[in-house]
Amino acid sequence: MSVRNPILLQLVISVTLATLLQAAEKPNIVIIFTDDQGYGDLACYGNKKTKTPRLDQLAREGTRFTS
């Protein structure tokens, strides 16, 4: 089998690969590392003295890992 138009074949393969790669959505992952912070230091974990509105919003809209 011979390819009559290699440029057309390459174009078809490129478009197919681009479509397949775009279809796979990648998750948004944010990992926050802090130093000298305990479990109860954030308001989202019950601290009434410290106000952490942005971190509380992240906790509400995302996933919290507890043990």
Domain that holds residue 25: 6-61
pLDDT tens-digit profile of 4-53? 777 888 888 888 888 777 766 777 788 888 888 888 888 988 899 988 89
Residue 18 lies in a domain: yes
The residue type found at 6 is: P
According to the model, what pLDDT value does residue 53 have?
A: 92
According to the model, what pLDDT value does residue 24 have?
A: 66
Q: How far apart are CA 16 and CA 56, in angstroms?
A: 42
Residue 66 lies in a domain: no
Residue 52 lies in a domain: yes
Give the count of domains, the chain.
Answer: 1
Residue 1 lies in a domain: no
The yes-or-no verdict on residue 2 having pLDDT over 70 is no
Place of tokens 């809209």: 61
Q: How far is CA 36 from CA 39, 43, 54, in A?
A: 10, 16, 19
- Whether the full predicted model's pTM is greater than 0.85, yes or no, is no
Q: How far apart are CA 63 and CA 61, in angstroms?
A: 7
Q: How far apart are CA 46 and CA 53, in angstroms?
A: 13
